[in-house]
Amino acid sequence: RSLSEAMGRPAKTIMSIMFKEFGEMVTINQIIEEDTALAVAMELGVDLTFKKQKGALELVEEIVEQEDAPEDLVTRPPIITVLGHVDHGKTTLVDTLRNSKVVEGEAGGITQHIAAYQVEYNGHKLTFVDTPGHAAFSEMRSRGANVTDMVVLVVAADDGVMPQTAESISHVKASEVPMVVAMNKIDLPDINEQKVLQELTAQNVLPAEWGGETEVVRVSALKGTGLDNLLETLLLTAELHELKANPNRPAVGVCLEGFRDEGRGSVAWLIVQKGTLRIGDAVICGKSYGYIRAMYDDQDQQIEEAPPSTPIKVTGLDSVPGAGDHFVVVGDIEQARELAEERRHEGRTDVLSRHSGGPRTLDDILG
C-alpha cells in the first residue's frame, strides 16, 4: 500500500507486476523487500528513492537538545557524581552528607547499582550520584560520569590511587567535567598524604596545593571531618560554572536505573536535567512510555513535581526502561506511545519517491 501511495500507482498494478515478474501473489498489507520495490518501480518507469524516516531517537534528541532562551534560565543544583575505587568510602560519604545509612543495607557493603540523592547545605541543594567502585561496574561509572556536572573522586588515604581510581580519572578527563578529590579516611593512623598526592600527580591530576588545578580536600566520611570544606569547594565550583536550566519547559533527563517493583510495577530512577516533571506527564523513556503515575523523592516520599537536577523514582511506564536512556515529556500519551513503538521497530525504512509520469492503468502495464 505505501509503495502504491509513494508511486501514485494503483496497488493492483503492483500486485500484477509482482505476479508477472516474480511469480508472487502479494496482498496490500504485505511487506516487500527494498530490491523488489525498486524492480517494480523500474517496470513502471518510476524513479524511486529510499529515505530513512526521521527516527524516534532523533526526535527525542531534538527535544533534549532544544535550546532555551537565556532569560528563561535559572540556577539549578549541581549534579555531582561520586567516583572511586571499591571500599574507598563513596557511599559512606553520601550517607554522612545526607544523614542516612544506605551503606548498612548493601549486600557485602558493596554498591551494586547507581543511585542519586539530594543534600541541602546552607540553603543550596546538591545532587549526588553514587556509583559502584567494583571493577565489574565500569559501564555504570561511565554512565554516572555522563550525567554529571562535576565529580568527587574519593581516594582512601590508606590505599591511594588504585585501578578504579585511575579508570575514574580517565572517564573524567574524557568528559571534561571539573573534579574535586576527597582524600578520605584521614582519621586512620599511619596514612601518608604526600604519597597520595604523588600518585594523583602521576595520573596527571595535579593538586592545587602543588600549583595544579585540582582541589584535594581531606575528609573522613565516617567521622564527618572536612565535609563542610568539601561542600563549600563543590558549591564554589558549581558557581564558577553557572549551572542553569529552564524549569518551565517539558522535562527532559536521564534514567539512571530501571527495575521492577512488586507493588509498584516498573519503576524508573530518573534525574531531571531541564524542565519540571509532573504527575500526569506523558513520557517516553527509551523504549518505554506512559503517564507519570507517582513520583518519589530520594527519601521515598511522594512528590508532585520535580524541578531540574532532582533525582526521583517514578511509576507509570509500561515497561522497565534501560539505564542511560533519555526521557522526554511529550504532548500526549498517543505521541509517547507512537514514539516508543517506533523505537521498538527502529531500523525500519520508509519509502518515499519522486514521481515520474502520471499513474497508468492496469491495462497499460499488462498491455
Residues tagged in the binding site annotation: 84-91, 130-134, 184-187
Q: Is 357 in the site for ligand GTP (CB under 6 A)?
A: no
CB 284 within 8 A of CB 253: no
Q: Is 166 in the site for ligand GTP (CB under 6 A)?
A: no
User: 252: helix, coil or strand?
Assistant: strand
Q: How far apart are CA 204 and CA 178, in angstroms?
A: 14
Q: How far is the CB of 231 from ligand GTP (least distance, A)?
A: 16
Task: Return the number of the residue (151 or 272) whose C-beta is nearest Mg ion.
Answer: 151
Look up residue 54 and give its DSSP letter.
Answer: P
The three three-digit cell numbers of residue 94, written as one number: 553520601
Among residues 73, 222, 294, 333, which is the contact residue for ligand GTP, using CB under 6 A? 222
Q: Which stretch binds ligand GTP (CB under 6 A): 8-16, 40-48, 181-189, 358-366?
A: 181-189
176: alpha, beta or left? (left if phi > 0; alpha if psi -120 to 50): left
Q: Is the dihedral of CA 22, 23, 27, 29 positive or negative?
A: negative
Q: How far apart are CA 316 and CA 266, in angstroms?
A: 7
Task: Return the number of the residue (103 or 271) whose C-beta is nearest Mg ion.
Answer: 103
Among residues 188, 236, 240, 352, which is the contact residue for ligand GTP, using CB under 6 A? 188
Binding site for Mg ion (CB under 5 A): 90-91, 111
DSSP string of 344-365, one letter each residue: HTTT--EEEEE--S----HHHH
Q: How far apart are CA 366 and CA 28, in angstroms?
A: 19
Q: Is 86 in the site for ligand GTP (CB under 6 A)?
A: yes
Task: Return the number of the residue (132 or 286) whose C-beta is nearest Mg ion.
Answer: 132
Q: How far is the CB of 191 from ligand GTP (least distance, A)?
A: 10
Task: Return the number of the residue (91 or 288) whose C-beta is nearest Mg ion.
Answer: 91
Radius of gyration of the chain (CA): 27
Q: How far is the CB of 318 from ligand GTP (least distance, A)?
A: 32
Task: Return the number of the residue (78 or 132) whose C-beta is nearest ligand GTP.
Answer: 132
- Backbone φ and ψ for 155, nearest 5 degrees, come out as -125, 115
Give the per-residue SS3 of 210-244.
HCCCECEEECECCCCECHHHHHHHHHHHHHHCCCE
Q: Is 78 in the site for ligand GTP (CB under 6 A)?
A: no
Q: Could you tell me which residues are annotated as the binding site for GTP?
A: 84-91, 130-134, 184-187
Task: Return the number of the residue (113 or 173) whose C-beta is nearest ligand GTP.
Answer: 113
Instruction: Identify the CA nearest to 153 among candidates 209, 108, 214.
Output: 214
Total residues binding ligand GTP (CB under 6 A) = 22
Q: How far apart are CA 161 and CA 169, in angstroms?
A: 10
Among residues 124, 134, 264, 337, which is the contact residue for ligand GTP, using CB under 6 A? 134
Q: Is 159 in the site for ligand GTP (CB under 6 A)?
A: no
Q: Is 185 in the site for ligand GTP (CB under 6 A)?
A: yes
Q: How far is the CB of 207 from Mg ion (least distance, A)?
A: 24
**Residue 163 binds: one of Mg ion, ligand GTP, none (C-beta under 5 to 8 A by kind):** none
Q: Is 163 in the site for ligand GTP (CB under 6 A)?
A: no
Vertex 48 angle, CA 45 and 52, to 5°: 170
Look up residue 53 and give its DSSP letter.
Answer: P
Q: Is 68 in the site for ligand GTP (CB under 6 A)?
A: no
CB 138 within 8 A of CB 144: no
Task: Return the number of the residue (77 or 133) whose C-beta is nearest ligand GTP.
Answer: 133
Interacting residue ranges for ligand GTP, rule: CB under 6 A: 84, 86-92, 103, 109-111, 132-134, 184-185, 187-188, 220-222
